[in-house]
Chain A
């Protein structure tokens, strides 16, 4: 039934949104396509898994673990792989190569440690099902929806209500002006990596909870989807990433339910191409793409 499918789509889409927001935040501030962001997401899933396996952590602790784990990896990448190259000057392509390399290294290291097979994600959740206006949701689904929407709301409040959040948006629009106003750009960039990566890690754990399976390669598909979602949302727009993620999730679920599961990605990407034909700069076009 349609309403149930929409809710399932929202749930799937909210994880896409969390990943896409990361691409948008980083692209906004640095004009950098962070091609290792999918791997950062994957690291979050494994950080959560480790807590569950070794410390018998519950879902909340696993989420915190994923968030912190990914945020640390994201900041580390900025320090060792991106900042030094940025300092060397003006090539737009060199940093992208660096993100590709970083992604491959992370994938290889994680494969060495965890093996290339899929791993279960054994968090214990109550099996209670909730019935609401004809909808059936289990505790896991409710948890995923609640966490991702709370995370998005928190991000919205951060970027609109706090000094650092507003400075981040200022940097995203005009780095020179932000610096002139006293904003320490290196600090903002680091904060952006922490935030973007942390949200990615959160998504990693949520995806683990949802499908009860994670692998060192889970970041590849998610990375591509997250990037596509950023594009349909509008480069650098976090609200575009939110809307785009939800649209992609709903499109996938609907195409599985009403067309065929083998058409899932074809239909979803067809829809995204259609959106881009109608709005070439995405749903929430910002000035980000054209300036500089």
Chain B
């Protein structure tokens, strides 16, 4: 079933056109990777989905509901959780408060407490640090915290913007395994990564964004010569 549809969407910052008619879909249960060089517009696409930047033309539809133009705070209640680039840890709040805020739009009842236990059993390192301010966590721990926080909303769609950025390779690896695990449990994921190899490797399908346009899409991008040359560092693609 189609969960997310981005239709011919255009976003501009003043004169700079960041998204130039982008169309993309995500089906329920899929991991979809969106790759592209720095400045291609990947983060802008996520911000547009979340209503954080105004969309000039085009439309975003989630679960059959047109969400373009809706205020950002409604997205969580609709079932979209977003982990931005740079994580978005609330550093001055405690780990526990960060996690509880993930369930903000559903009130803090028994089911939220149960979800808190579920997240803590998934990330045991967080349960030792519940009362600490989140700013004291390491980068990897913070990434787990913000993913845990996103899970607290019981999202139907998880938007992850560069979750491996700035992490040690081993920790990044752990994050990628986690994404696969989550998808297996039924969470739909749209994943933005500069690490195109890892992202395309674990995703069901992928899109390549260049200068605000989708230039390639498909389920076998890892073997696509143009992708191999431009994003995977192959100077001599095998033909």
Contacts and interface: CB of A to CB of B under 8 A. Distances in A.
Partners in one complex: yes
Contacts of A180: 50, 52, 72-73, 75-76, 82, 84, 88
A184 B77 CA distance: 11
A170 interface: yes
B63 interface: no
Interface stretch (B91-99, B137-145, B174-182, B206-214): B91-99
B9 interface: no
Contacts, number: 70
A177 B75 CA distance: 12
Interface stretch (B104-112, B113-121, B122-130, B229-237): B104-112
Interface stretch (A3-11, A161-169, A263-271, A272-280): A161-169
Contacts of A167: 101, 104
A174 interface: yes
A179 B108 CA distance: 17
A170 B73 contact: no
Contacts of A173: 90-93
B156 interface: no
Given A166-B93, A174-B88, A183 B75 contact: no
Contacts of B97: 166, 169-170
Interface residues of A, number: 19
Contacts of A176: 52, 72, 84, 88
Nearest to A176: B52
A287 B77 CA distance: 29
A163 B107 contact: yes
How many residues of B sit at the interface, in one of the four size bands? 20 to 34
A191 to B, nearest CB: 14
Contacts of A182: 73-77, 104-105, 153
B124 to A, nearest CB: 23
B45 to A, nearest CB: 15
A185 interface: yes
Contact of B90 (A174, A184, A185): A174
A183 B93 CA distance: 15
Given A166-B97, A170-B93, A174-B90, A181 B104 contact: yes
B203 to A, nearest CB: 23
Interface of B: 50, 52, 71-77, 82, 84, 88, 90-93, 97, 100-102, 104-105, 107-108, 149, 153
Interface of A: 163, 166-167, 169-170, 173-174, 176-185, 286-287
**6 tightest Cβ-Cβ pairs between the two chains A and B:** A182-B76, A182-B105, A179-B72, A177-B88, A182-B104, A184-B73
Given A166-B100, A170-B93, A183-B104, 17 more contacts: A163-B107, A163-B108, A166-B97, A167-B101, A169-B97, A170-B101, A173-B90, A177-B84, A177-B90, A178-B101, A179-B52, A179-B72, A180-B50, A181-B76, A182-B105, A182-B153, A287-B92
